[in-house]
């Protein structure tokens, strides 16, 4: 890596409004979770900054739309080039503010770039619905206008790129608000992309919940796309009601994984482990509760512990680190509370990994068995490096237990018999069910939740079309 932490933290990025970098009189201090200390301060946008950004976005919208999709896609490919040229700096910022290992921060950005490249080659279909002697009917997709995008702290740049790409390709302008816990890399992204985007097409504002509520209610914003908790999603849905905004909400998950009794434990242990505990467990569609056959429980539990022993936890800037800290203190305390509560209820916390001495929001990799379905560790989304392992003896019973949740983002079934696994998978209530993997997300496949895990989808042509309005042209002949 040719860039150092001191170099990227030396100058705080600003807001991007109407093609200009803007500072503010108030600032937000951003903490490095590996040290627990402030490493940079960034502007804190107010309602007045939002008003200026909305006005600029609305001015830019007609000319951006009129460019046509081919020209917009060409510009999106130039966006990819700019990000690729600055990936070292952006990855460093992600690690400093989010905590994940540097290589995984670069991987997050690379995944987003693959999505942008795909969006830049995806055509928006025009459907000739009827064409006869009596009538011609054509169905087109048109941009919604101004998009307000709000992202979460677990994948700051990946989530931003998931929203930027479809919005731009379909002819919308976009105002992006990152999590106040991880605003730095996204602000820098906004600065960099002004090299290739017209003023007002992409603007980035950092701020807290008040700014998010103002975006949700603003009559000049036509759509909100949000990734975060179901609690925040419900608030956004309520706030967007008076203006009937279009919504895409990718919310929380409490994904169940079911291991069938024919599984090859040794072959699948590593995949099972990382399905649950990648990104320090902070994956919305990660495996959150694992159901295993009672007679295989000991074998599976020990196999997972053997994988866990190999995982090095530490500062994401250090060589050889597999997992960083939990991103913020509040989430660390929440995860600790889940584990303590489960233990108090009789669960066996049978594996705790090692964590570095000293400061930082580190939590050991933790495996828990002998746990009941009703404890919060199982019933709620823990979003940390903890996996509860539960047993079953009857397949109908375990399917019912897996489905007993208000959330329905993802799920998985693990087996050496594909047909049998698919049969169980088709009974699970979730937006995506994986077989022998979890979670795998690619930009060519739609991703979204059911129940209280969200509205709409992201990724693929289906996700792209979420950024459009349906328009029918009907001609009498």
The arrangement of strands across the sheet holding 146-150 comes to 20-22, 15-17, 202-204, 173-177, 146-150, 223-227, 246-250, 454-455
Q: Name the 3-class secondary structure at 100.
A: coil
198 Cβ neighbours under 8 A, 6+ residues apart? 19, 60, 63, 64
Catalytic residue among 250, 301, 458, 466: 250
336, containing H or E segment: helix 329-344
Cα separation, 102 vs 93, whole angstroms: 9
Spacing of C-alpha 150 from chain mean position: 11
- End-to-end, the C-alpha distance of the chain in Å comes to 65
Q: Is 280 a catalytic residue?
A: no
341 Cβ neighbours under 8 A, 6+ residues apart? 375, 376, 377
φ and ψ at residue 326, rounded to 5 degrees: -65, 145
Strand positions, DSSP E, 173-304: 173-177, 202-204, 223-227, 246-250, 255-259, 287-293
What is the Cα gyration radius of the chain?
23
Q: Name the 3-class secondary structure at 381.
A: coil
The arrangement of strands across the sheet holding 348-352 comes to 348-352, 366-369, 386-392, 287-293, 255-259, 410-414, 432-435
81 Cβ neighbours under 8 A, 6+ residues apart? none
Catalytic residue among 230, 284, 458, 466: 284
Q: Is 345 a catalytic residue?
A: no
Q: Mind giving me the DSSP string for 392-456?
A: ES-HHHHHHHHH-SSEESEEEEE-S-HHHHHHHHTTS-SSEEEES-S----TTS-B--EETTEES
Q: In the Cβ-directed half-sphere of 7, how many Cα atoms lie within 13 Å?
A: 9
Query: What are the beta bridge partners of residue 434?
Result: 412
Instruction: Taking each helix axis as running N to C, give the angle between helix 47-66 and helix 209-217, from 0 to 180 degrees, rounded to the nearest 10.
Output: 50
- CA of 430: how far to CAs of 69, 410, 467, in Å? 33, 5, 23
387 Cβ neighbours under 8 A, 6+ residues apart? 276, 277, 281, 287, 288, 289, 290, 304, 366, 367, 368
Which residues are marked as active site?
250, 284
């Amino acid at each position: 890596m040719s860039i150092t932490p001191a170099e990227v933290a030396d100058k705080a990025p600003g807001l991007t409004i109407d093609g200009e970098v803007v500072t503010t009189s108030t600032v937000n201090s951003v903490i490095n979770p590996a040290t627990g200390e402030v490493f940079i301060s960034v502007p804190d946008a107010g309602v007045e900054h939002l008003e200026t950004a909305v006005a600029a976005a609305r001015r830019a919208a007609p000319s951006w739309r009129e460019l046509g999709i081919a020209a917009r896609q060409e510009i999106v490919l130039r966006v990819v080039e700019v990000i690729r040229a600055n990936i070292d700096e952006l990855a460093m910022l992600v690690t400093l503010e989010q905590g994940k290992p540097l290589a995984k921060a670069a991987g997050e950005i690379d995944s987003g770039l693959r999505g942008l490249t795909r969006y830049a080659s995806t055509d928006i279909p025009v459907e000739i619905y009827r064409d006869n002697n009596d009538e011609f009917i054509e169905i087109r997709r048109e941009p919604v206008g101004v998009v307000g995008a709000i992202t979460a702290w677990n994948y700051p740049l990946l989530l931003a790129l998931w929203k930027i790409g479809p919005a731009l390709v379909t002819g919308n302008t976009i105002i992006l608000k990152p999590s106040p816990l991880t605003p730095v890399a996204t602000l820098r992204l906004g600065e960099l992309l002004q090299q290739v985007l017209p003023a007002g097409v992409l603007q980035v504002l950092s701020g807290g919940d008040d700014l998010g509520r103002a975006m949700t209610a603003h009559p000049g914003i036509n759509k909100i796309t949000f990734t975060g908790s179901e609690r925040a999603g419900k608030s956004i849905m309520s706030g967007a009601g008076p203006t009937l905004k279009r919504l895409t909400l990718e919310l929380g998950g409490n994904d169940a994984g079911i291991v069938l009794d024919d599984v090859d434990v040794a072959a699948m242990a590593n995949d099972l482990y990382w399905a649950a505990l990648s990104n320090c467990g902070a994956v919305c569609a990660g495996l959150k509760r694992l159901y295993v056959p009672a007679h295989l429980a000991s074998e599976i539990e020990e196999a997972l512990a053997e994988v866990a022993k190999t995982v090095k936890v530490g500062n994401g800037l250090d060589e050889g680190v597999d997992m960083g800290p939990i991103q913020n203190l509040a989430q660390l305390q929440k995860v600790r509370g889940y584990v303590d509560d489960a233990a108090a209820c009789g669960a066996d916390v049978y594996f705790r990994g090692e964590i570095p001495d000293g400061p930082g929001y580190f939590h050991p990799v933790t495996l828990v068995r002998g746990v009941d379905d009703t404890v919060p560790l199982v019933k709620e989304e823990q979003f940390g490096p903890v996996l509860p392992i539960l047993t079953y003896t009857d397949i109908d019973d375990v399917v019912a237990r897996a489905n007993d949740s208000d959330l329905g983002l993802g799920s998985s079934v693990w087996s050496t018999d594909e047909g049998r696994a698919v049969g169980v998978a088709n009974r699970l209530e979730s937006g995506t069910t994986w077989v022998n993997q979890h979670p795998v997300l690619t930009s060519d496949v739609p991703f979204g939740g059911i129940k209280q895990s969200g509205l709409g989808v992201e990724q693929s042509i289906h996700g792209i079309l979420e950024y459009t309005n349906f328009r029918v042209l009907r001609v009498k002949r």
